[in-house]
Amino acid sequence: MELKNAIELIQNPHLLQQNQAVWADLGCGSGLFTAALAHLLNTGSTVFAVDKNLVELNIALFPQDIEIRPMQLDFVEESLPFHQLDGILMANSLHFVRDKMALINKLSASMKSEGHFLIVEYDTDKPVQQWVPYPISFDSLQQLFIQAGYSSVVKLGERPSLYSRAKLYAALIPKLTNSILDEHQSQTKAELSS
């Protein structure tokens, strides 16, 4: 996937409204979605690029007015060193987590009350051995977050996957519901049904 495709997939009105935001990209890998997020945040924002492997990012992909802080950390097993995050991005990393509910509860404690999860995953519940051991379809993601006490899971978009028959989807999950997200959800439903 190219950077412009990643930006299009996760773009949403909430990101444009935040002033100087602090986000964490958990399981950032090569940093493609870290860069996409950085392009959508306002000047002066910070993104922690977290992966359990050594984080090596292509700095040329990132806007210069966003601070990127690479961090090697197993976010499932280790304590998180940040608090009061505006958001947590997990792009193709939640499918490596067996106990998703425990992780969601742990991560929620690291966010502000008006924080958001931004999830990118394959829309399937069928495992693919080592690559997608614990998949989570959009329907399953909705159920997971509702069980965790969240009231809204908004599908931002979807696109074909190069690696599987399942499409990739992006979803935004606010800790608090707001009218901008409700409006975006209505618009997205109308686009998907046409």
Domain of residue 54: give its range. Answer: 3-193
pLDDT at 157: 92
pLDDT at 116: 94
pLDDT at 28: 94
Phi-psi region of 100 (alpha: psi -120 to 50; beta: other; left: phi over 0): alpha
Low-confidence ranges of the chain (pLDDT < 50): 178-185, 189
> How many residues in the chain?
194
**Residue 137: both structure tokens together:** 């379809």
pLDDT at 191: 54
Q: How far apart are CA 116 and CA 103, in angstroms?
A: 15
pLDDT at 180: 42
pLDDT at 164: 67
Is residue 83 packed enough to be buried (19+ CB in 10 Å), middle (13-18) or exposed (0-12)? exposed
Q: How far apart are CA 128 and CA 164, in angstroms?
A: 9
Its pTM stands at 0.86
Q: Please count the CA atoms within 13 angstroms of the CA of 2 that sit on its side-chain side.
A: 2
pLDDT at 187: 53
Q: How far apart are CA 172 and CA 87, in angstroms?
A: 10
- Domain count of the fold of the chain: 1
pLDDT at 168: 93
pLDDT at 178: 46
- Identify the CATH number of the domain in which residue 132 sits: 3.40.50.150
